[in-house]
């Protein structure tokens, strides 16, 4: 779906498209400068760069809500209503997305927006410091500032979005169109099912061949070669991007022309950690690179991604769904021997790697969690956010709640805040409402994979041969290249034939961990 080459008959809409292009140019700059800020900038530039980035976001905001934009929007909507025949699907969707963006910004005053940008960029640094010193006091002070700001935002958003609750309003930023009621329904269903599955899986895995621990030290450069090669096999375009290592936090994002993925320090003891991150960020990167970008369409709102749920689905599909199939490890194993200069290493057999990556075992750590217990980590955060935003819980109450919940539900207890409540960067950067999108993304990934298996009949033998490009091609055709032409749930229904449903995820887990 690409824009028509002819100028559109509605003059106001043409003006909007031009403005969109300029906003897109500044937004791309903001994206690149933020990555620099988070990865390679010298420490001493911290305060000023933070201020510069916030200011740039303010200018972008001003351009979005500029009074002539409002006038053009009204005129264009009027034109669409009176001359629907002159509007094709692309332009119609583009106008709808432009209106949405305008409304999302119009409710914010520029000071709040600057504070959001500051928190988003500053929060990562604060998070690093808190982790380094296991400093809950510093974390609490920061999170309280964030909570005040986010509640204020939620109030404005709830009003403009007619949301049932404050928290529901925040969720719209990540999973547009999803009601809190629906989320609770899905999550309670998954919770019920996975609680039944968990002990069965653990019991069954006791009978498996024991896992051989990784023996060696794995040269970080060799690991990065492996990670880059895997992404290349998936069709990631290194002419328009790259994969880098950083001491700081990994960075998602970029633009379709400049998708420099950043993963955190490579662990010399376990190559599977950086591989996991590379596959995850790679899934995001493939989505970004596959978005429409030709002929200036990239700067139009209709060419943007479909939000966090769809984005996470792309990352989890590559990392967890594809990247943990036995066939994936069959492809990987023999190549590892050559790469790491080791032969007949029992820890590097396809079977052992697969057992290692599919081991289900409750742990404290969300990022390192297995595919089954991952959900419980999300559910905990979802509950906390829900209460915190509605004012039923305060930041100071989180650690005790967290510890008790982990003990009661997963039977593990964090020994300190670094292992517990402080592990994730999201709240530090103001992302309340984000976590649910991981589980929704996992649901979407499983649902897409179900259809993909039908569409690509020799899928598993292709994976076994490292022939991953048909996967990306399929995703590109059905998801990436569509931009925001439809809402994510409608697109999912068109592609898979079903409404979004947790049943695909539950079946996927049941098949993978209890099947065969």
Judge residue 155's burial from the number of C-beta atoms within 10 Å of its C-beta, 0-12 exposed, 13-18 middle, 19 or more buried.
middle
Strand partners, 27: none
Kindly state the smallest distance separating residue 109's Cβ from a copy of itself, in Å: 17
Among 9, 18, 25, 225, the residue binding a copy of itself under the rule CB under 8 A is: 25
Among 1, 14, 28, 456, the residue binding a copy of itself under the rule CB under 8 A is: 28
Give, as ranges, the residues between 34 and 63 that touch a copy of itself (CB under 8 A).
Answer: 36, 41-45, 47-49, 51-53, 55-56, 59
Kindly state the smallest distance separating residue 24's Cβ from a copy of itself, in Å: 9
Number of residues that bind a copy of itself (CB under 8 A): 33
User: Does 240 participate in binding a copy of itself (rule CB under 8 A)?
Assistant: yes
Asked if 287 contacts 269 with a C-beta cutoff of 8 angstroms, the reply is: no
Give buried/exposed letters for 57-89 (b at 16+ CB in 10 A, else e): beebbebbbeeebeebbebbbebbeeeeeebee
Give, as ranges, the residues between 306 and 365 that touch a copy of itself (CB under 8 A).
Answer: none
Stretch of 70-78, 253-261, 301-309, 324-332 lying at the interface with a copy of itself (CB under 8 A): 253-261
Strand partners, 31: none
182 SS3 class: helix
CA gap 367, 267 in Å, rounded: 15
User: Does 129 participate in binding a copy of itself (rule CB under 8 A)?
Assistant: no
User: Does 232 participate in binding a copy of itself (rule CB under 8 A)?
Assistant: no
CA gap 268, 218 in Å, rounded: 5
Kindly state the smallest distance separating residue 125's Cβ from a copy of itself, in Å: 15
Kindly state the smallest distance separating residue 144's Cβ from a copy of itself, in Å: 28
Judge residue 496's burial from the number of C-beta atoms within 10 Å of its C-beta, 0-12 exposed, 13-18 middle, 19 or more buried.
buried
- The nearer residue to a copy of itself, 33 or 272, going by C-beta atoms, is 33
CA gap 229, 89 in Å, rounded: 38
Q: Which helix (H) or strand (E) holds 262?
A: strand 259-264
CA gap 515, 201 in Å, rounded: 10
User: Does 176 participate in binding a copy of itself (rule CB under 8 A)?
Assistant: no
Stretch of 123-131, 257-265, 459-467, 478-486 lying at the interface with a copy of itself (CB under 8 A): 257-265
What residues have CB less than 8 Å from 507, skipping those under 6 apart?
Answer: 446, 450
User: Does 111 participate in binding a copy of itself (rule CB under 8 A)?
Assistant: no
User: Does 233 participate in binding a copy of itself (rule CB under 8 A)?
Assistant: no
User: Does 67 participate in binding a copy of itself (rule CB under 8 A)?
Assistant: no
Asked if 202 contacts 361 with a C-beta cutoff of 8 angstroms, the reply is: yes
Asked if 277 contacts 264 with a C-beta cutoff of 8 angstroms, the reply is: yes
- The nearer residue to a copy of itself, 41 or 96, going by C-beta atoms, is 41
Among 177, 216, 220, 242, the residue binding a copy of itself under the rule CB under 8 A is: 242
User: Does 15 participate in binding a copy of itself (rule CB under 8 A)?
Assistant: no
- The nearer residue to a copy of itself, 286 or 372, going by C-beta atoms, is 286
- The nearer residue to a copy of itself, 45 or 148, going by C-beta atoms, is 45
Kindly state the smallest distance separating residue 31's Cβ from a copy of itself, in Å: 10
- The nearer residue to a copy of itself, 114 or 173, going by C-beta atoms, is 114
User: Does 250 participate in binding a copy of itself (rule CB under 8 A)?
Assistant: no
Q: What does 59-78 look like in DSSP terms, one character per residue? A: HHHHHHH-HHHHHHHHHHHH
- The nearer residue to a copy of itself, 31 or 503, going by C-beta atoms, is 31
User: What's phi and psi for 298, nearest 5 deg?
Assistant: -60, -25
Maximum CA extent, the chain = 72
Give, as ranges, the residues between 261 and 300 that touch a copy of itself (CB under 8 A).
Answer: 298
- The nearer residue to a copy of itself, 36 or 337, going by C-beta atoms, is 36
Kindly state the smallest distance separating residue 17's Cβ from a copy of itself, in Å: 15
Asked if 468 contacts 233 with a C-beta cutoff of 8 angstroms, the reply is: yes
- The nearer residue to a copy of itself, 257 or 424, going by C-beta atoms, is 257
Strand partners, 258: 255
Among 11, 22, 188, 498, the residue binding a copy of itself under the rule CB under 8 A is: 22
Q: What does 327-373 look like in DSSP terms, one character per residue? A: HHHHHHHHHHHHHTT-SS-GGGSHHHHHHHHT-----S-STT--TTT
CA gap 277, 273 in Å, rounded: 6
Binding-site ranges for a copy of itself (CB under 8 A): 22, 25-26, 28-29, 32-33, 36, 41-45, 47-49, 51-53, 55-56, 59, 237-242, 255, 257-258, 260, 298
């Amino acid at each position: 779906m690409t824009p028509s080459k002819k100028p559109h008959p509605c003059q106001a809409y043409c003006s909007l498209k031009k403005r969109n292009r300029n906003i897109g140019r500044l937004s791309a700059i903001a994206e690149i400068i933020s990555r620099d800020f988070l990865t390679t900038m010298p420490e001493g530039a911290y305060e000023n760069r933070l201020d510069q980035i916030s200011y740039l976001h303010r200018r972008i905001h001003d351009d979005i809500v500029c009074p002539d934009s409002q006038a053009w929007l009204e005129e264009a909507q009027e034109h669409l209503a009176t001359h629907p025949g002159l509007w094709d699907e692309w332009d119609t969707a583009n106008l709808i997305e432009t209106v949405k963006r305008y409304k999302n910004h119009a409710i914010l005053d520029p000071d709040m927006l600057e504070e959001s940008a500051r928190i988003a960029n500053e929060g990562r640094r604060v998070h690093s410091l808190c982790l380094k010193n296991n400093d809950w006091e510093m974390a609490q002070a920061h999170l309280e500032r964030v909570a005040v700001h986010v509640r204020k935002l939620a109030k404005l958003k709830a009003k403009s979005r007619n949301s049932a609750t404050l928290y529901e309003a925040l969720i719209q930023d990540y999973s547009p169109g999803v009601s809190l009621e629906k989320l609770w329904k899905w999550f309670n269903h998954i919770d019920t099912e996975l609680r039944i599955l968990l002990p069965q899986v653990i019991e069954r895995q006791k009978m498996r061949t024991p896992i051989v621990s990784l023996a060696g030290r794995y040269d970080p450069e060799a690991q990065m070669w492996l990670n880059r090669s895997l992404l290349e096999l998936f069709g990631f375009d290194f002419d328009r991007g790259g994969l880098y290592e950083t001491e700081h936090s990994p960075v998602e994002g970029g633009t379709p022309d400049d998708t420099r993925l950043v993963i955190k320090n490579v662990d010399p003891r376990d190559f599977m950690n950086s591989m996991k991150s590379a596959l995850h960020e790679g899934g995001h990167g493939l989505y970004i690179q596959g978005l429409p970008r030709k002929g200036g369409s990239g700067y139009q709102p209709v060419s943007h991604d479909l939000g966090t749920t769809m984005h996470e689905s792309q990352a989890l599909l590559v990392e967890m769904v594809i990247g943990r199939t036995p066939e994936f490890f069959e492809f990987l194993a023999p190549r590892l021997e050559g790469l790491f200069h080791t032969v007949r290493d029992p820890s590097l057999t396809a079977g052992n790697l697969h057992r290692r990556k599919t081991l289900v075992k409750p742990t404290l750590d969300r990022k390192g969690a297995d595919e089954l217990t991952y959900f419980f980590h999300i559910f905990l955060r979802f509950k906390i956010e829900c209460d915190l935003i509605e004012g039923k819980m305060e930041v100071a109450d989180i650690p005790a709640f967290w510890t008790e919940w982990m003990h009661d539900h997963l039977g593990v207890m964090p020994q300190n805040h670094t292992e517990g409540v402080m592990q994730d960067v999201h709240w530090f950067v103001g992302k309340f409402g984000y976590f649910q999108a991981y589980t929704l993304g996992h649901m979407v990934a499983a649902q897409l994979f179900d259809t993909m298996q039908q569409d690509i009949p020799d899928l598993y033998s292709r994976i076994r041969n490292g022939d991953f490009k048909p996967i990306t091609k399929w995703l590109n055709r059905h998801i990436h290249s569509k931009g925001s032409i439809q809402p994510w749930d409608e697109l999912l229904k068109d592609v898979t034939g079903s409404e979004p449903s947790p049943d695909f995820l539950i079946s996927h887990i049941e098949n993978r961990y209890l099947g065969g």
